[in-house]
Amino acid sequence: MHRLARIGLAGAGIALALSAVARPPASAQTRTEFVATLEYTARLRQRLEHLQRLETQKLWRDWVVQYQALVDEYPDGVVPRDEEFYVGLRYSLASRLEALPAAVKQLYRQQFQGEARRLFDEAARSGDEAKMRQVYGRFRHTAVGPMALEWLAERALDRGNPELARLAYARALQGQPATPLALLKYGLAAAAAGRPQEAAAAFRRAESEFGNQIVRIGGQPVMVAAAARTLAKMAPPPRPGGWRRFQGVDGRRQMTGDLRAPLTRRWEYRFASENNPLSGQRQALIFSGSMGGRWGLSFVSHPLLIDDERVVVQGLRGAAALRLRDGTVEWEVDEIDVQTPERPAFDWDRARIRIYRSGLRSYQVAPVENGGMIFLRVPLNPGDPIRDVSRGNMNFGLAALDARSGRLIWEHVEGANGAGDLWNNPTVLDNVVYTGAVKGQSLCEFRAMALEAGTGEPIWTTYLGGGTDPPLVCDGSPPTVHEGTLWIETPLHTLTGLDLLTGEIRYLYRYQPRARNLAAGGWGESGSVLSNEPISLIAPAGKYLLFASRWGEQVIAFEPRTATLAWTAPKTPAPTLFAAEEDRVYLCGNDVRVHELETGARLWSWSPPQRGGSVGLAALADGKVYVPSDGKIYVLDARNDGRLLATFDLTADLSEAPGYVAVYVMGNRLLVTARQKVICYEGAG
């Protein structure tokens, strides 16, 4: 309740009711302005001003007490830094204390070392990772901080999370004297995380500083120098092939392949639909209204490619694994039965027809595979579909399937009675799933979260703010992990960077949304409920991170370590970031636009010869851009001003109005996902 108290209440529920029940005539249309509330209150501002006065007066004993109180009371707080970025309060305060004289830091340690050690011992005895993260988050500048990090690092390494272990060991070794075992384990973690240079440096340090010492590895005594040399020779784990996530292998959505005419249709798979018990015929009844204009999204599925042989596609409520070469179904799950908690399951056998969505809802899915498991964001199975759809039940949960059989391993639902909505399509690194959840309807609050991949149990959650625009009919883009930070978009018109290890806020980018019309229904002009813009890429490229605001007007490039904005560029009429290279940024929509990475200058743009009613998500593969538009695929030269190289006419299979289409180039095959089906084509040669 204390979270909701920070969100302005006036008019929020009324705005939702107007949008859901009735739209005013054109003469009565009014502009609406989104109201978002972050964890930065007037009270917090006053206390920070008080802390600054204590620092100016050099009243250090009072200063350290006030510092610790702020750290404890505002774990999710943020502080504005400039017009674009906020800084996480804990991150800001930690940097502030680090910059003070050594005597102040010593005073702080004397004041809080005892409490920190007591909480550390409690967490260690109980094996409680959450409590140990709190110990580090609250007392990182005591001698216990590095101890907590090393404890978390060992736990992460044991659980198969080398990236988390690498981050924790690196920080722990900066804050306390190194030990030979810590350096060897750090090298192991770095090697397993795909950081060979970092691993080699750790092993060299272990050999040079502790080479003649004896350590026990696997119960056997061994010289540190010999252990370091042996471990350094171990080959890094092979990079997984295929296409296992929306972002692709390198996070920039670069595909590999070349398609040459003619294209031959090899197979088609239709997503599972419902069997009408009266007629016995299978049918797909999907109440998914478009959002007007050429940007109506009825259903968009982004496939996975596993082992270069199997493709996994997600349907409306199910999924299937197919052989890429011929479309043979290896397994198929019509219904991923994620139940709403504390509500009886509906008897589908008695239902005359099954209703999936309400009239306003489209649906974008981007499952991800890791370690033999597939993670999908799926709509909840309501207790009573007729009642719940009419009441606007649009909540989603998270499901984990066995990639070999499609068997449901676990499910995760947010909130009592499914009141929370898993909003972001998931991202997985090692054995951790990252996503975000929305709670509430007319007023909403958003949290980022990390879950154990094997069980779905929460590792950490972080409150990122609240707002008055219900995200009931939109899907969140997958988060991106880059250099120890999780970057996640929210429906609060923000992009937030979180410490991967603890979930603490580091930076928050806040943009101004486009002015929206309360009664308009088209893309970019929806009412108080956020429209379902196409999900977009958050991409590392060169020294920058790229982000195209879903409900804003700009694409930006910034230096992620310091959140320093490099450039902004208008993205209309190409609002979706679909790929990036070391020197270029690619956007698609009504047009395709390409910008220079270093400056943001536009290099070239391309418009389809005929502007119809259907576009889609383009693909970049080996120097070519594949653009779906009105049932055709246009192939552009990515490096030479977007020159048209070829056109593949697929209207016989897709029609001239197939809805929003996504294309994937995989070798000499083209996968096209459209409403209710996936089609695979093979190129010549």
Distance CA(635)–CA(644), nearest Å, equals 6
Phi, psi of 66 (to 5 degrees): -65, -35
Residue 516 in any domain: the answer is yes
Residue 281 in any domain: the answer is yes
Distance CA(247)–CA(535), nearest Å, equals 11
Please report the pLDDT score of residue 529 as a whole number.
Answer: 61
Can the peptide bond before residue 534 be classed as cis, meaning omega within 30 degrees of 0? no
Instruction: Give the range of the structural domain holding residue 487, as residue numbers without chain letter.
Output: 254-682
Residue 248 in any domain: the answer is no
- What's the start-to-end Cα distance of the chain, in Å? 63
Residues in the chain with pLDDT values less than 50: 1-32, 274-296, 343-360, 383-393, 517-527
Residue 410 in any domain: the answer is yes
Residue 435 in any domain: the answer is yes
Residue 158 in any domain: the answer is no
Q: Do residues 291 and 531 make contact, with C-beta atoms less than 8 angstroms apart?
A: yes
CATH number of the domain enclosing 574: 2.130.10.10
Distance CA(521)–CA(524), nearest Å, equals 8
Contacts of 361 (CB under 8 A, 6+ apart): 287, 288, 289, 394, 472, 473, 532
Residue 282 in any domain: the answer is yes
Conformation bin of residue 197: beta by default, left when phi > 0, alpha when psi is -120 to 50? alpha
What are the pLDDT digits (tens) for 13-52? 322 222 222 333 333 334 445 667 899 999 999 999 999 9
Please report the pLDDT score of residue 340 as a whole number.
Answer: 58
Please report the pLDDT score of residue 387 as a whole number.
Answer: 41
Residue position matching structure tokens 């005594």: 221
Residue 590 in any domain: the answer is yes
Tokens (6 digits) for 177: 């004297």
CA distances (Å), origin 128, targets 52, 87, 168, 414, 453: 35, 28, 16, 22, 18
Query: Residue 592's beta-bridge partner residues?
Result: 588, 606
Please report the pLDDT score of residue 350 as a whole number.
Answer: 42
Distance CA(257)–CA(255), nearest Å, equals 7
Distance CA(478)–CA(426), nearest Å, equals 5
pTM of the model: 0.89
CA distances (Å), origin 365, targets 83, 382, 489, 534, 552: 33, 19, 16, 11, 22
Pairing between β-strand 619-621 and β-strand 254-257 as defined by DSSP bridges: parallel
Instruction: Indicate the number of domains in the chain.
Output: 1
Q: Do residues 441 and 470 make contact, with C-beta atoms less than 8 angstroms apart?
A: yes
